[in-house]
Amino acid sequence: MPKSLTHRRRPPRVSLSEHPLRGSDKVTKTPMNIVELIYKEAGPDRWRLLLASTAAGVGNTLVLVFINAAAQEPDAVDGRAFFLFAVLMLAYILGARYLFHRTIDIVEEILHRIKGRIVEKILRADFAALERLGTSEIYDRITENATVISGAVGLVTNVLQQLLIFLFAIVYIAWMSLPAFVLLGILTAAGLALYWTRSEVMVGFLQHLAKTRVAFFDVLTDLLRGFKEVRFSRRRGQQIRDDVMRTSADLRDTTRKANHLFDDNFILASCNLFVLLGALVFVLPRHVHMEPATLTKLVSGVMFLWGPLQGAVSGYPAYVRSNQALREIETLERKLDAAAAAKVSEGALSDPWKGKPGAIVAQGVEYEYARTNGDETFRIGPVHFTIDPGEIIFIVGGNGSGKSTLLKVLTGLYTPTLGTLSSGGEAVRPQNAPAYREMISAIFSDFHLFSRAYGLLDVDGDAVTRLLAQMQLEGKTGFKDDRFTRRDLSTGQRKRLAMVVSLLEDRPIHVFDEWAADQDPAFRKYFYEELLPALKARGKTVIAVSHDDRYFHCADRVFTMEYGKLLSIEPGHRAPARPSTESTEQSLPS
C-alpha cells in the first residue's frame, strides 16, 4: 500500500484554552479570509508559493506513483530509478519547506504589523472613546486572536497543498481508467456536499462556543478579582460557584457537541473513501472490463487519496477559526478607527506654548459623557475661571460632584462639549492638545506606575535617589537600568513613587487627584505644607482635588463643585470648611 508523505492529522479538537471566538459583532464589509490575506500579502512571492506548492504536490504524488510502479516491477529498479526517486523526494522537501516556512513568515509579519497598527491606533485614540471601549476587549482581541491565527496557519497551508495533491491523484486515476474517474468524481462530490452541509452546522457551534467561553471567562474573572470578598461570605462563594459551574456546563456541552461534529466529519470523510474503494472493487469490475493489474493500481491510487483528504478535513476547522479571528481583529480595528481623536496630520501639529503655559482660562466650558443604554449622563459646567501661573488651586466637593471630570477636561484629556479652554491666550484645539498635555504632569486617582521610566530622558540616578529618600521610599524600592526595582508597594507608597516620577518630569503644571488621600498624617502634612509651597516657589501651577479641609489654607483658591457646577471660588484662607474627616488621624502620633 502506498504511503503518503503528506501530513496526516486528526481534526484539531476544541479545547478550553483556545480563544473564545466571538461572533456577535456586526461587520459591515465582507472581511478578508486567511487565504486571501496570505495571497495579498505575499506580493510577488505568490507565484513562488504556487510553484513551491506545485513542486511539493507533484513530488509527493510522483514519489508514490514511482514506488507503486517499482513495487510491481522490482527487477527494473536500477541506479537511474533510484536517482529519480531521490530527485522527486528533494522536490517535495524543497517545495514543502518553502511553502510552509514562507506562509508562516508572511502570517507572522502580518500579525506583527497588525499589532503595531493597533498600538498606533490606541495611542492616537480619543481618551473618552478609548475609555468607553474598555481594555479587556482590546487585550483579548490583540493577543488571543493572533494566537489562533498563528496556530492555524500550518494547517491551512497544508489544506492548500493537500488539495493540489488530491487534484494530481485524480488525474492519475483518470489516466488509468476513465470509468473509475467518473465513478470517483460522483462519489467524491456527494461526500463533499454532505461534509459541507455539516460544516455549516460546525461553524454555528464554533460561534456559540465563542460566546459561551466569554461568559465563562467573565464569571471566572469575577471570582478571581473578588476573591477577598468571597472569603467573607460562604453564600456569595456558593452563588459564584453555581454561576461558574452553569457556564462551565454550557461550555462542556457545546465543546462536546462541536468535537463530536469534528469527529463525525472525520469519520464521514473516511467512510467516503471506503465507499470509493468498495465501488471500485465490487461494482466497477461488474460493468467495465478491467485488468486485475489496473484494478490493483486503481485501489492503490484511491488509497493514496486518504492523506490529502484527511489533511483537508482536519484543516478546514482551522481555516474557519482563523477567519473568525481575523474578523475579530478587523472589528477591533474599526472600533479603534471610530475612537480616533480628530484627524490631525503630523505636520499640522503645533506647539504655541513652547513649555510656557501662561494662564489657564475656561470660558463657558461644559462636558457631557456619551449616553449609553439610554441612561442619564453626567455633565459638568458651564464653568468660567482663570488659573494664573504659579497658583495653587484646590478642587473640592462631594463624591460624584465632577471633580475628576473637571480635571480631565482641564488637562485636555476630554474635549469640552461646549465653551473654550485656553492657555496663555491660545485655545486648546486638536492640533495643539498634545503639546498642551506635554506641559502637565498628572497623578490621577487611578494612576498607573509603568514598569520602566518611560518618557523620562536621561534620568539622573542621584536625583532619583534623592527623591526616593524625600518620599521615604529608600530601602523600599530603588532605581536601576531605567526601572524602579519594586512596584509591589502599599497604595500610599505607590502614590509617593508616582510623585517621584511627576517631580522628575519637572513640568510647569502639576495635577493631583486626591493624592494625599492614602498618605499617613505626617506625609499629608508634608504634602500640603512643604511640597506644594516648594512647587509654587519654583513657579509651578498646582491643581489638586482634595477632601482635606484642614489644609484648605494651603491653597491660593478653592473651587467648590456640586452636581457638576462650580458652586464657588474662594481664597484658600476663606474656603468653606466641611466636617473634618481626620478625627482618627488627630489621635494618632504624627
Binding site for ligand ATP (CB under 6 A): 131, 369, 378, 397, 399-405
Please state the closest distance from residue 401 (CB atom) to ligand ATP, in A: 4
Phi/psi at 454 (5° precision): -60, 140
Between 132 and 256, whose beta carbon lies closer to ligand ATP? 132
Please state the closest distance from residue 574 (CB atom) to ligand ATP, in A: 22
Q: Going by DSSP bridges, is the β-strand pair 418-423/483-484 parallel, antiparallel, or unpaired?
A: unpaired
Please state the closest distance from residue 407 (CB atom) to ligand ATP, in A: 8
What is the rounded CA–CA span in Å between residue 484 and residue 496? 13
Between 446 and 481, whose beta carbon lies closer to ligand ATP? 446
Selection from 263, 256, 260, 261 nearest residue 199 by Cα = 261
Q: With contact defined as beta carbons under 8 Å apart, do 536 and 544 qualify?
A: no
DSSP 496-547: HHHHHHHHHH--SEEEEESGGGGS-HHHHHHIIIIIHHHHHHTT-EEEEE--
Query: Could you count the other beta carbons within 10 Å of the beta carbon of residue 352?
Result: 17
Please state the closest distance from residue 380 (CB atom) to ligand ATP, in A: 7
Between 134 and 533, whose beta carbon lies closer to ligand ATP? 134
Between 554 and 561, whose beta carbon lies closer to ligand ATP? 561
Please state the closest distance from residue 508 (CB atom) to ligand ATP, in A: 24
Collapse the DSSP code of 2 into the 3-class scheme (helix H, G, I; strand E, B; otherwise coil) and give the result.
coil
Between 17 and 399, whose beta carbon lies closer to ligand ATP? 399
Instruction: Give per-residue burial for 111-120: e unless 16+ CB within 10 Å, then b.
Output: beebeeebee
Please state the closest distance from residue 369 (CB atom) to ligand ATP, in A: 4
Question: What is the CA angle 177-53-87, rounded to 5?
Answer: 75
Please state the closest distance from residue 305 (CB atom) to ligand ATP, in A: 59
Please state the closest distance from residue 144 (CB atom) to ligand ATP, in A: 25
What is the rounded CA–CA span in Å between residue 212 and residue 204? 12
Phi/psi at 586 (5° precision): -65, -25
Q: With contact defined as beta carbons under 8 Å apart, do 444 and 513 qualify?
A: yes
Please state the closest distance from residue 543 (CB atom) to ligand ATP, in A: 13
Collapse the DSSP code of 248 into the 3-class scheme (helix H, G, I; strand E, B; otherwise coil) and give the result.
helix
* Residues sharing a CB contact under 8 Å with residue 227, sequence separation 6 or more, in sequence order: none
What is the rounded CA–CA span in Å between residue 204 and residue 198? 10
DSSP 13-79: PP-TTS------S--SSPPPPHHHHHHHHHTTHHHHHHHHHHHHHHHHHHHHHHHHHHHH-GGG--H
Please state the closest distance from residue 391 (CB atom) to ligand ATP, in A: 21
The secondary element (H helix, E strand) that includes residue 9 is none
Between 265 and 405, whose beta carbon lies closer to ligand ATP? 405
Q: Going by DSSP bridges, is the β-strand pair 392-397/557-562 parallel, antiparallel, or unpaired?
A: parallel
Q: With contact defined as beta carbons under 8 Å apart, do 251 and 212 qualify?
A: yes
Between 149 and 406, whose beta carbon lies closer to ligand ATP? 406
Please state the closest distance from residue 397 (CB atom) to ligand ATP, in A: 6
What is the rounded CA–CA span in Å between residue 350 and residue 430? 9
Q: Going by DSSP bridges, is the β-strand pair 392-397/565-571 parallel, antiparallel, or unpaired?
A: unpaired
Between 517 and 535, whose beta carbon lies closer to ligand ATP? 517
Between 476 and 565, whose beta carbon lies closer to ligand ATP? 565
Between 11 and 397, whose beta carbon lies closer to ligand ATP? 397
Selection from 38, 253, 250 nearest residue 158 by Cα = 38
Cis amide linkage into residue 382, ω under 30° from 0? yes
Between 404 and 431, whose beta carbon lies closer to ligand ATP? 404
Between 173 and 407, whose beta carbon lies closer to ligand ATP? 407
Q: With contact defined as beta carbons under 8 Å apart, do 303 and 284 qualify?
A: no
Please state the closest distance from residue 402 (CB atom) to ligand ATP, in A: 4
The three cell numbers of residue 20 are: 473564545
Between 395 and 532, whose beta carbon lies closer to ligand ATP? 395
Collapse the DSSP code of 384 into the 3-class scheme (helix H, G, I; strand E, B; otherwise coil) and give the result.
strand
Please state the closest distance from residue 138 (CB atom) to ligand ATP, in A: 16
List C-alpha distances in Å: 336 to 131, 134, 142, 437. 11, 11, 12, 21
Please state the closest distance from residue 384 (CB atom) to ligand ATP, in A: 19
Between 162 and 405, whose beta carbon lies closer to ligand ATP? 405
Half-sphere exposure (Cβ direction) of 463: Cα atoms closer than 13 Å: 13
Between 404 and 472, whose beta carbon lies closer to ligand ATP? 404
Please state the closest distance from residue 158 (CB atom) to ligand ATP, in A: 47
Q: Kindly tell me the sign of the dihedral angle through the C-alpha atoms of 156, 160, 165, 169.
A: positive
